[in-house]
Structure 1
Amino acid sequence: MKQVVTFGEIMMRLSPPLNYRFIQTDSLEITYGGGDANVAASLARLGIPAAHVTCFPDNELGQAAAQSFQRLGVDMSHTVFRGERLGLYFLEVGASMRASKIVYDRFNSAFANLQPEWLNWEEILKDAQWFHWTGITAAVSATAAQACRDAIKVARRLGITVSADVNYRRNLWQYGQKAQDVMPELVEGCDVIVCTEGDADDLFGIKPEADTSNRFESVAKQLVQRFPQVQKVIATNRETLSASHNRLTGIMFNGQEYIETQAYDIVPIVDRIGGGDAFIAGFIYGSLTYPTEQAALTFAVAASALKHTIHGDVNLATVAEVEQVVGGDTSGRLLR
């Protein structure tokens, strides 16, 4: 089977143990993650060959980050080791009515200083069937956005499916170009996008029609009209009852019809970081494995729901575990 290739920054995550606040703790737990890389690792866990492309500092922290994903089965052979700094983020995990909080420390990272000419996309994508990127990658720096642009161009020429989680992070766009100027060109080359109503408005100025009964479908129809290459717009509808209790539904517009899944109650939440990445990884797996779009979307949202029960950025659920949830067993009973 050909690979799924992802592209983006990997950061070190530092978190207080349990649900401690930063002010309480005298230790921090280390894990590694990044939106695009989490997709690759989830797919590798599901049995799909996956490779991730990134740039790490040429030091022990860069090596440790690369090895953490290699241990999860991700092909990291296209990693560039140049620069001095690994991006960091600090996570305080909330509970009940206390929200989780993230503090980023990623300025001037090795990935932000990545130069497009360091990556040979013809070689990287020669054995690929799918390429995935996120709006976070394009937000980090002008050079990262250009490298993403180059990858999409090669993928289109090679007939490779391209997906993106547009994931607008307003505070990351600090290098002088606006997301509204950069993202439309990148999305033009995509077959599948993850895009919420809020992101569609912020990035493309697309709003639900006033008389619509389905806001997502209205927005998705307009996205498909504006970007003819896009065949599917997918997202999750998240109802946040508390930091410990969410309700998740998968939704999709495939160019002709609106599709949704059942809702999954997730309580208590162990770690919601990476839930969206688990969703798109599940959708890619489902699209490559199952005969219907409904089945692919259902697998995707079940995978995302399971991710909320797993510590760290990466969904470590197996196909059998996801299919158990899809089959209706959400009891969490002890397995012996």
Structure 2
Amino acid sequence: MAKQKILSFGELLLRISPNSADKSEKQPMQLFVGGAEANVATALAGWDMPVKYCTVLPDNFMSRHMLHYLELKGIFTSSILFSGNRIGLYYLERGADLKGSMVYDRERSSFSELKRGMIDWDKVLAGVSWFNFSAISPALNDNVADVCLEAVEAASKKGITISLDLNYRSRLWNYGKQPIEVMPQLAEYCDVLMGNIWSANTLLGIPVDEKIHDKKSKQAYLDHAKATSEEIIKRFPKCKTVANTFRFDSEANNILYYTTLYTEDQLFTSNEFTCMGVVDRSGSGDCFMAGLIYGLCNKYTPQDTVNYAASAAFGKLQEFGDATEQEVLTIGKTDI
């Protein structure tokens, strides 16, 4: 059976992070190639899945270095458009949560200047069987949100499977629209939705129990994941698969992680993972999405799919940088 070709669409970013707490180092900063959708593509390419990446970059030497990096990872770059004048940046403290010590510098980036009609979707989607994007792109501005709609309209007409990561970034969404005004229209085209019960509430308006933490019960979270998934599928009938992730960081620096996958009227729960501390939180959710796509494309059972995706996401927590270098995983590994 031929492997499905996956297209991942989003902004390619450069991430700058402090190298370590040692202020005496000659080079105190490190530079990484990042961006949620690029991280998904990198993971899939590393797992021997045919994947190409679509973004917009300025036509300069730095962009060519970034293209070379992607190609070395095994990602097809023929769908990358050259336009505009700058590459988007973000700054992140080492090991920090993306909700914590992070600063975006994406205004007037090449990708943020995208407009409907700039990308030839018939050409870009040729030979593609799966289209992946995230809620980060429509958070940039009205025009990029419209391009995302243009993309899912084109992919849907071609019968391409569409997946969406409901990742919410509060530092974005500052162009006059709330997520609930934009994301439901995009979700209508999606076959697979991934996020958590809180992002589903913020982005899609799915009800959330604001006092669920008080219950201190894993079963309560699992029941909520099922209820959220059922409500998503009810509101967005094209969607047949919903995944939710749960990660809890205790004051003692213990990490607890597990995920769910809802499909065919059943909720499947991953193995539970625990460890002391993490190296880098960035890219873990992207790795989960990649694992989800990998399992679904390779016809894994729902249980094996959610276990694979959770293993990949948890493993990424112990890697510095945005993208994973994990090889194809052994399903069922439960701790590090």
TM-score (norm 1): 0.89
**Inter-partner Cα distance in structure 2 for 1:257 and 1:152:** 27
What's the CA shift string for 1:254-292, capped at 9, x where partnerless?
A: 151111011111334111200000001011111122431
**Inter-partner Cα distance in structure 2 for 1:168 and 1:243:** 26
CA change 1:25–1:207 in 2 (3 A) is farther
CA change 1:3–1:289 in 2 (3 A) is same
Moved more, 198-207 or 305-314: 198-207
Aligned counterpart, 2:226: 217
Q: Which runs of 5+ in 2 are unaligned?
A: 213-218
Do structure 1's residue 78 and structure 2's residue 75 form an aligned pair? no
Q: Percent identity?
A: 31
Aligned counterpart, 2:216: none
Residue 71 of structure 1 and its aligned partner are, at CA, apart by 1.6
Residue 243 of structure 1 and its aligned partner are, at CA, apart by 9.0
Q: Which runs of 5+ in 1 are unaligned?
A: 332-336
Given that 1:20 and 1:93 are in contact with CA atoms closer than 8 Å, whether structure 2 keeps it comes out as: no
Aligned counterpart, 2:283: 274
Q: What residue identity is the alignment partner of 1:185? A: Q
User: What is the Cα-based RMSD across aligned positions, in Å?
Assistant: 2.5
Q: Look up the SS of the partner of 1:109 in the other structure.
A: coil
Q: What residue identity is the alignment partner of 2:62? A: L
**Inter-partner Cα distance in structure 2 for 1:20 and 1:235:** 37
**Inter-partner Cα distance in structure 1 for 2:65 and 2:178:** 33
Q: How many residues were matched structurally?
A: 324
Given that 2:7 and 2:132 are in contact with CA atoms closer than 8 Å, whether structure 1 keeps it comes out as: yes
**Inter-partner Cα distance in structure 2 for 1:292 and 1:31:** 34
CA change 1:131–1:24 in 2 (3 A) is same
Residue 66 of structure 1 and its aligned partner are, at CA, apart by 2.3
Q: What residue identity is the alignment partner of 1:10? A: L
Do structure 1's residue 316 and structure 2's residue 311 form an aligned pair? no
Do structure 1's residue 227 and structure 2's residue 236 form an aligned pair? yes
Residue 60 of structure 1 and its aligned partner are, at CA, apart by 2.0
Aligned counterpart, 1:240: 249
Given that 1:7 and 1:132 are in contact with CA atoms closer than 8 Å, whether structure 2 keeps it comes out as: yes
Q: What residue identity is the alignment partner of 2:117? A: E
Q: After the TM superposition, which residues 53-202 of structure 1 pair with which residues of structure 2 at under 5 Å, given as runs?
A: 53-94=54-95, 101-202=101-202
**Inter-partner Cα distance in structure 1 for 2:252 and 2:172:** 24
Q: What residue identity is the alignment partner of 1:179? A: P
**Inter-partner Cα distance in structure 1 for 2:230 and 2:87:** 40
Match of 1:287 among 296, 310, 314: 296
CA change 1:171–1:329 in 2 (3 A) is closer
TM-score (norm 2): 0.89
Do structure 1's residue 250 and structure 2's residue 259 form an aligned pair? yes
Residue 162 of structure 1 and its aligned partner are, at CA, apart by 0.4
Displaced runs of 4 or more, over 6 A: 209-212
Residue 25 of structure 1 and its aligned partner are, at CA, apart by 8.3
Residue 109 of structure 1 and its aligned partner are, at CA, apart by 0.8
CA change 1:19–1:83 in 2 (3 A) is same
Given that 1:224 and 1:255 are in contact with CA atoms closer than 8 Å, whether structure 2 keeps it comes out as: no
Residue 318 of structure 1 and its aligned partner are, at CA, apart by 0.5
Do structure 1's residue 35 and structure 2's residue 44 form an aligned pair? no
Given that 1:140 and 1:172 are in contact with CA atoms closer than 8 Å, whether structure 2 keeps it comes out as: yes
**Inter-partner Cα distance in structure 1 for 2:5 and 2:299:** 17
Residue 140 of structure 1 and its aligned partner are, at CA, apart by 1.2
